[in-house]
Structure 1
Amino acid sequence: MGKIMINGTIVTAADTYQADLLIEDGKIASIGKGLNRETHEIVDASGYYVFPGGIDPHTHLDMPFGGTVTADNFETGTRAAAFGGTTTIIDFCLTDKGKPLSDSIRTWHDKSRGQAAIDYSFHLMIGEMNAEVLAELPEVIREEGITSFKVFMAYKNVFQADDGTLFQTLLAARKLGALVMVHAENGDVIDYLIREALQAGNTEPIYHALTRPPVLEGEATGRAAKLTGLAQSQLYVVHVTCAEAVKQIAEARASGVEVWGETCPQYLVLDRSALEGPDFEGAKYVWSPPLREAEHQEALWNALRCGELQTLGSDHCSFNFKGQKDLGRHNFSLIPNGGPTIEDRFSILYSEGVAKGRIGLNQFVDIVSTRSAKLFGLFPRKGTIAVGSDADLVLFDPVVERTLSAETHHMNVDYNPFEGLKVTGEPVSVLVRGEFVIRDKVFVGNSGTGQYLRRVGYSGG
């Protein structure tokens, strides 16, 4: 038996209208008025927006880092994502230098298999470039459907790759039809500044931000963009935080270089002062790049509104305050980098963006879902409401007001970085391929029903 969703206001990246949806075999079978309701379950969406399911292009689940492992795995992380209106995530598969890429991909499949409540895919980290890696990449694309490769320009002696590796990855991506992603910070200079701070006895969390100034993000972003232009390739800059990086992306795009930019909800609503909290509370807000001064928030909102930044990822990388973040109590460089953000991404963008008039309703859908589907080879299966698309749907109450808190969230972590933030709007029910995962704000899905998604090659946004 299929479902007919009635009385809702359907919102896509292009249109807003009222219609009914016929859902059969996990797909949207028909859109219209007066659909035959016999033998179908009726889902009443009165008073709700019906959005395409959110696509989070940037998560880190069950990931080892800094001597520990993220608090959320694929089971808890995808459940929290579903509560937040996200129906697809793309997680980062880390690799080890000197080992086959296939080994790392197998490890990520082992982590996720039978765990996810929503659909998922992987990006692949490239930490080195040589004949062996080049030989594996076509198979990675063909067999695994992984069509995005991430290069770290930071975390010296851990993840950081050199410029030669980045440039060769860009060249390979141009040939193979893949999208290169960068964490854009100048890792060499950051490493020097960290050592200088520690030698001076500066160990508090605020020095995480002070040793990673915006100019180093801007410099790395510009360098990556220029290498992309030289390679005639395509680039996606993750977690943009500051005006300096936005400027470099805008200038590159204006000159014809194919560069895309992502920001995250934490950079839109939080600022550097959070790292100055007493009693080591600032450690809760240690992630990279760091939070910036408040004036950078307007630059990010302007960039989203004008299309200079196109997507919103969560960069969800959760560590408990007690037992994990406190590994760096006496040395800020040992605080595990990352925060719990997967559940609140969708609602923060709606509340701070749409409800406050910063972005339009259709632009919201583009930023939170559609553009990621297009950039990462999932459109039109995902990211829209159209006949033939997967019935990934969010019934969203646009007027309810609530307060974000660790007491009510579903992430497997002991704090919420947005604690006390009042938001307007809430996902009420969430369907993945036509089946309820969240129904009336209650989890009714099952771990393991999420499917691994093999993606097609890059074709632009």
Structure 2
Amino acid sequence: MLFAEQSRGQSLLEAVDDYRALVSKQGSYADFGFHAIITNPSETVLEQELPNLAQQGIMSMKLFLTYKHMRISDDQFLRALLKAKELGMIALVHAENGDLVDFFTEQLEARGLTDPKYKAIAHPNAAEAEATNRALTFSKVIDTPLLIVHVSVPESAKIIRKVQDSLQPVFAETCPQYLLLGKSNLDQEHFCGAKFICSPPLRSEEKDVDAIWRGLINGTFTIFSSDHCPYRFTKTPNGLPGVETRLPLLYSEGVLRRKCIDIKRFIELTSENPAKLYGMYPKKGAIQIGSDADLVVWHAASEFVPRPLQHTRDLHDGCDYSPYEGIEFLNWPRITLLRGEVVFREGVIQGWRGYGQFVKRGSSTLPMIRRMEKKWDVLLAAV
């Protein structure tokens, strides 16, 4: 899934068309779809452009509660959730309290504390937990499902788990960096900690990382994504590469080394649940008659020699480093098929640019247990 970001004042349709044109020009090896990032949920966007996107099969939006150039107000957030409910779209939410992050950032900058290690201080656990609680409160009021993305702290996971236990249709995502990397990576000589800057930032190696593993095991997290955001600049952009290492990291660490999840859970987190959540199932995320033949064949345990990741040998992501270099992998994809065609074999890309197709999506097929209350039904009918 690709993120199509609306600039302030830009038409959302225009933003999506720009990204679609970019994919068409460069060609995609893989099938793809779009999440529409809404930074300006105007009446035109909500009443005209979003229904248009839904008809095109773009059935997800992403909303930010942080970053000055992207975050929306509470009022805008509520209106966007109401429209998502009406259209059957799923809302993805980056939950951090933007004002709290800005306050800490200003305090640190005033003291000249701008090394990468201070990123973790500028984005405290409380900023994520507060915004998560606020997002889920609004979701309950509007009675519409949403997905909290890249959860990194136990406080957020506990809040999410609590509302899930009340049968509120809330889903959660976490990423490899919150399972395998800690904030000590930000404190390296020669400014090398900049290679590990992301938002939310890396957290405590012990308490926070272990809590995220627990959420993966007990079902709090619905999907496992990469939040792939690669850069090659000399300054300090905000994001980590990781799309190609996502599956082998979880397979090696979760299934083989820690043995805390089984193959069934691995498939749910990386394939079945994302396909259901984003309205692609059973075209994607299933092995059955009528589904796309998208398959990954792994090495037999007896034939794969564990080895540390080397970017230049193992990856094809166009970035010039990986935050996971040096981590020993216990398995790696051997063959990948897309719609029945072999596109990757023994570490070499076999596919071609342009083979990837746009996937038109419907509404989520994950269980949505709660239903609208009659009181809200009446209110909605009166709007």
TM-score using structure 1 length = 0.76
Gaps of 5+ in 2: 368-383
2:178/2:202 contact within 8 Å kept: yes
Q: 1:460: how far off?
A: 2.6
In structure 2, what is the equivalent of residue 6 of structure 1? none
The answer as to 2:47 corresponding to 1:140 is no
Larger helix proportion, structure 1 or 2?
Answer: 2
1:449 to 355, 364, 368: 355
In structure 2, what is the equivalent of residue 404 of structure 1? 309
Instruction: Give per-residue Cα distances to partners, 1:1-57, cap 9 Å, x unaligned.
Output: xxxxxxxxxxxxxxxxxxxxxxxxxxxxxxxxxxxxxxxxxxxxxxxxxxxxxxxxx
For residue 134 of structure 1, what is the amino acid of its counterpart? L
The answer as to 2:265 corresponding to 1:363 is yes
In structure 2, what is the equivalent of residue 131 of structure 1? 43
Gaps of 5+ in 1: 1-89, 328-334
Q: 1:269: how far off?
A: 0.4
For residue 460 of structure 1, what is the amino acid of its counterpart? L
The answer as to 2:92 corresponding to 1:181 is yes
1:403/1:422 contact within 8 Å kept: yes
Tell me the SS of whatever aligns to 1:203.
coil
Larger strand proportion, structure 1 or 2?
Answer: 1
Q: CA separation in 2, counterparts of 1:437 and 1:430?
A: 6
Instruction: Give per-residue Cα distances to partners, 1:283-334, cap 9 Å, x unaligned.
Output: 00001000000121111111111111111110110012xxx1x32xxxxxxx
2:116/2:187 contact within 8 Å kept: yes
TM superposition outliers: structure 1 runs of 4+ over 6 Å:
none
For residue 221 of structure 2, what is the amino acid of its counterpart? L
Q: CA separation in 2, counterparts of 1:361 and 1:224?
A: 32
Q: 1:258: how far off?
A: 1.2
2:154/2:208 contact within 8 Å kept: yes
2:27 to 115, 120, 128: 115
Q: CA separation in 2, counterparts of 1:459 and 1:430?
A: 26
Q: 1:183: how far off?
A: 0.4
Q: CA separation in 2, counterparts of 1:256 and 1:425?
A: 37
2:250 to 342, 345, 349: 349
Tell me the SS of whatever aligns to 1:418.
coil
The answer as to 2:200 corresponding to 1:200 is no
How do 1:318-333 and structure 2 match up within 5 A? Answer: 318-320=230-232, 324=233, 326-327=234-235
1:316/1:341 contact within 8 Å kept: yes
1:398/1:424 contact within 8 Å kept: no
Q: 1:94: how far off?
A: 0.0
The answer as to 2:336 corresponding to 1:430 is yes
1:127/1:165 contact within 8 Å kept: no
Q: 1:367: how far off?
A: 0.4
For residue 278 of structure 1, what is the amino acid of its counterpart? E
1:94/1:125 contact within 8 Å kept: yes
Q: CA separation in 2, counterparts of 1:439 and 1:274?
A: 33
Q: CA separation in 2, counterparts of 1:438 and 1:360?
A: 25
Q: CA separation in 2, counterparts of 1:345 and 1:313?
A: 7
In structure 1, what is the equivalent of residue 192 of structure 2? 281
Higher relative contact order (CA 8 A, sep 6+): 1
In structure 1, what is the equivalent of residue 102 of structure 2? 191
Q: CA separation in 1, counterparts of 2:300 and 2:245?
A: 15
For residue 361 of structure 1, what is the amino acid of its counterpart? I
How do 1:367-386 and structure 2 match up within 5 A? Answer: 367-386=269-288
How do 1:37-76 and structure 2 match up within 5 A? Answer: none
Instruction: Give per-residue Cα distances to partners, 1:167-226, cap 9 Å, x unaligned.
Output: 111111111101011001001111111111011110100111111011111111111001
In structure 2, what is the equivalent of residue 387 of structure 1? 289
Q: CA separation in 2, counterparts of 1:395 and 1:457?
A: 29
Q: 1:440: how far off?
A: 2.8
Q: 1:130: how far off?
A: 2.5
1:177/1:459 contact within 8 Å kept: no
1:303 to 190, 215, 222: 215
Structure 1 residues 201 and 360: CA distance shift in structure 2, 3 A: same
Q: CA separation in 1, counterparts of 2:347 and 2:115?
A: 39
How do 1:161-180 and structure 2 match up within 5 A? Answer: 161-180=72-91
Percent of aligned positions that are identical:
37
In structure 2, what is the equivalent of residue 216 of structure 1? 127
Tell me the SS of whatever aligns to 1:118.
coil
In structure 2, what is the equivalent of residue 49 of structure 1? none
In structure 1, what is the equivalent of residue 137 of structure 2? 226
Q: 1:439: how far off?
A: 2.0
Q: 1:398: how far off?
A: 4.7
Tell me the SS of whatever aligns to 1:430.
strand
Q: 1:403: how far off?
A: 1.4
Q: 1:369: how far off?
A: 0.7
2:139/2:146 contact within 8 Å kept: yes
Tell me the SS of whatever aligns to 2:332.
strand
Instruction: Give per-residue Cα distances to partners, 1:99-148, cap 9 Å, x unaligned.
Output: 22110011010111151101000000111223201222111100x21111
